[in-house]
Amino acid sequence: MSTVRAITAEAAARVDVHLMDPEKGGFKLEQLMELAGLSVAETAFQLVHERATVETGSRSGVVAVLCGPGNNGGDGLVAARHLTHFGLKPVVLVPKRVEREPFVGLMTQLRMLGVPSATLDDMDLILSDAVLVVDAVFGFSFKGQVRAPFDRVIKALKSHEHKTLSVDVPSGWDVEKGSTTADGFSPFALISLTAPKICSRQFKGRHFIGGRFVPLDEFNIDVPMYAGTQQSVEIANDSVV
């Protein structure tokens, strides 16, 4: 497949609604987060090992995972758990705590595994030390201006964009228009969930697709086929239309 069609935020929302309809998809939100987070973790694991080989031959394996208050952040928390089981050392940073499920349970799981939870005061040091940064702050439902404390987070991500993997949409981007400022944040890698969003047409870095749990034929989504047990697959950065 030479091209991959991008979808709108509205189309992405319709897929989620369908999947979580008891009579149609039968999924729970927690299941979708688990599957999405696993695909993010697989991609992050691959990138960490590539960077270790290319840059130094030996890295600490520390991965900074920045999580927002929405479902994108939940995907990041799940990814952090899997990265621990993959033998890496995730550190999670949740700028705005969420006191509802499934987030409370996800944070409990990470504490049980001994995954450190950093604060905004630790952010610059954590990002500097990390071999990879996972941006799971905002997803396809983000609209408007970035407000505190997330403006500080996006600014920090900009300084480390050369080693940042964004989840679904680079945080702060308009899901339809993309980056709206000339000097905006642009990560080196992106993992689109289910299918690329419209904004990814302007993305020029390494691009992965994750989320093989969606019935593609039903939604007329054309993404590359996953091989074997793959949870993510890389696509050409000029293939999104």
Binding annotation for (6S)-NADPHX: 71-75, 139-145, 168
Question: Looking at the chain, which runs of residues are DSSP E strands?
Answer: 62-67, 89-93, 117-118, 132-136, 164-167, 189-193, 206-210, 232-235
d(CA 66, CA 91): 9
Angle at the Cα of 117 (from 137 to 208), degrees rounded to 5?
Answer: 40
The region that residue 230 occupies, defined by phi over 0 for left and psi between -120 and 50 for alpha, beta otherwise, is beta
Supply the DSSP symbol for 237: T
Backbone torsions φ then ψ of 128, nearest 5 degrees: -65, -40
Q: Which of 68, 201, 89, 199 lies closest to 135 in space, CA to CA?
A: 68
Provide the annotated binding site.
Answer: 71-75, 135, 139-145, 168, 171
Provide the annotated binding site for K(+).
Answer: 72, 135, 171
Structure-token pair, residue 107: 């944070």
Structure-token pair, residue 10: 């509205």
Per-position DSSP letters for 2-49, written without gaps between them: --B--B-HHHHHHHHHHHT-TTTT---HHHHHHHHHHHHHHHHHHHHH
